[in-house]
Structure 1
Amino acid sequence: MELKYDLPKYITMTKMSGKIRVLVEGKDDRGHVLNLLSAICPSVKFKVDTALEIRGDCNKTKNNNRAKIEKIHDHCKAKTSHRRLFFLCDREFRNFDVAAVVTDQAKQHEFDGNLTWTLGHSIENYFLNVSMLAEGFRYLSNSGYKTDAVKVFREILGDSLRIIAALTLAARELGCAKYPPSIAPWQSFEISTGEVGRLVLKGARGVDSFQDKFWGVYDKFYTVASSTSEEVCARLCRGHTAVIILQRVFAACLYNAGLADDEVSSRHDANVFNNIGEANISSALSEAWIKHVEAGCLDYPLPLVESIYTASA
C-alpha cells in the first residue's frame, strides 16, 4: 500500500481537519469500524484512517502499526487541537497474565483519553460469540447437514477456543504468529458427540523439527488453556487465527454431521466450506456482529463510540 503520510504530516493534517477522524491499524480494522460507526452513529460525519498508510519514523514504528498509533496519541492527547481525533488499537497480549491459568487483568475495555484498546486480542475477537459464529457460518454454507453441524459446533466452541488460545500462546513464544493454520487442516479436528460434544486437535508429528517443536510448546500451553475460562480464551486468542481455525472446525462439524448418512457428500461439503476465503468468512461474521450490535449487544469498543458521540454533540 502506498504511504500517504509520515507521522508529522499526519499530525498536522488532522490538526487542520474539522472532521471526526478515527485512526486504526489496518484495512480490515478500517472496514469493520466504518460499518460499526455507520450502524450506531448514523448522524455523525467521520473518516477512518489506517496506520498502514503512515510511515514510521523510528525502529519501533517502522513496521508496527500499533506503535505508530500509540506514538501519535502520545503526541496529541494533551492538545485541544486534536480533540476530534480518536484511536483504536489491538490489545494483543496486553494485561493478560499467563501462569497455570490465564487471567484477564483488564476485565473491561482499557482506554487512555481518545485511545481505546480492543477488549480482546483484535477487532475480530468481537465476532467470537456462538450466535454470531453460527449465523455467519450458516449463511456461508449450503450443506443439507448445516443444522446438525451448528448444533455440534455450539457444543464444542469452548474446546475450540481453548485450542486456539494454546495455538496463539505457542506461536507467540516461538515468534510465528501466522504459523498455526498451516498445521491444522480441518481433517485434524476429531469430534466426539454424546451427552456433551468434545473436540480434539490431532497434530501431525515427525514432519520436521520446527513443527515438532511447535507441538511440544502447544502441548504445554494446552494444559494452561484447558484450565482457563472460555471467556478469557476468546479474548486472548489471535483474531485472524481464530477466524481461520473456527472455519476449519465448522468444516469438520459438517463432515461429522453427514458422515453416517453420506460420507462422500459430507466430505464435499466440508471441503467447500473450508475453501471459502478468509475475507469472505470475516465479512459474514462482521455482518452478524453488526446485526447483533443493532439489536442492542454492547460487545464493541464502547469508550471509542461514547467519545465520538460526545465530540459530535
Structure 2
Amino acid sequence: MNKTDRMLAILMELQRREVTRAEDLAAIFETSVRTIYRDIQALSEAGVPLVGAPGRGYSLMEGYFLPPVSFTAEEAVTLLLGTDLVQRIFDAEYGTKAEMSRRKIEAILPERVRNEAARVGNTIKLLQLRAHAGIHPEKAYVEVLRGAVLEERKVRFGYSKKIPGPDGERQSVRTVLPYGLVFVQGAWTLVAYCELRREIRHFRVSRMSGLTVLPDFFQKPSDFNLQVYAPPDDRNLRIEIRVNPEAADRVREFRNFYWEAEEERPEGLYVTFRVRQPEEMLHWLLGFGADIVVLEPESLRKRMREEAENLFKRY
C-alpha cells in the first residue's frame, strides 16, 4: 500500500471509530508507529481537522465527514456478493435491507465499473446453502432471536437433541438468555446462557420448536464478547481410521468437522478425529462403507460391526 492509499485508509478508519491509537493504526496497516505519526502530520497539513489526545489516540473533529469513495470493479463485486449472501442466510428483514443496499451500490457506480462488476459477477455463483430450507422455519426463528438478542430479552423453546442409545433423541424445554447468533457450517446456532444447565450452551436453531420471546429482560455480562468468545474444547476421545487409497480423495472432499490430522501411507490415508463421543462419527463413517476401517477405539469398532450386522439382516 503506497502512502496516498494508506493516508486515505487512515482517514476512513478515523471516521469509523471515535478514537484510535497510533499503535492500533500501525497494526492495521502493518507499518511502524513512526510512519503513522508522519501520515497523521501530513493529513493535518492537508487541512483534515484531527484531534490528538495524549494517551488516548486520534479522532476527527466532530462534524467532519469524508465524502463517499469510488469502488473498483473487484470491490463492487465483493460488496454485491455480500448482499447476496445476506439475502440467502439472514431473515426477511435483513434480506430486504440487503436488496436495498445492492440497488444503492449499483446506482452510485460509474457505468464502466458497473459493467465490469456485472461481468465479473457473472463468473461467480452462490448456491443454496441449506438443503432442507423451507422444512423448518429457521429464517423466521433467526429474526425472532436476533430481536431478542438486541433487546436482551429471555426466550423459551422446545429443543430436540440426538443422544446415544435406542431412543436416539431427547426432548426438553429451555429458557435461555440469548447472547448472540453464529452461522457455522451452513447452520445457525444460538449462543445463550441456559437457566436449566446454569452455563453458556449452544443451540442449533433447526432443532428448536415453539420459540417464544418472554417479557423478562436480562443484562448480558459486560465481559462477554461474541467475537472473541471460544467454547471450551471438551473433545477428548481420539478416533483413527484408515482409508483405502482409491477413496482418499472422496473422503477428503466430505471432510468432517472433527477432522484433526491426516497422514499418507502406502496402505492408505490415515485420519485422526477428536470427538466427545463415538456416536458423533458413526453415520459419517458408515457412509463410506468398506472403503474405511476404524482402527480405534474398540468401542466404535464394535458399533460399526453391530450396524453392519443390522444392515445384513435387513437386506
Q: Which category describes the TM-score, using the shorter chain as reference length? A: under 0.3
Higher helix share: 1
Higher strand share: 2
Which is greater in Rg?
A: 2
**TM-score, normalised by the number of residues in structure 2:** 0.23
**TM-score, normalised by the number of residues in structure 1:** 0.23
| Higher RCO structure, 1 or 2 (CA under 8 Å, sep 6+) | 1
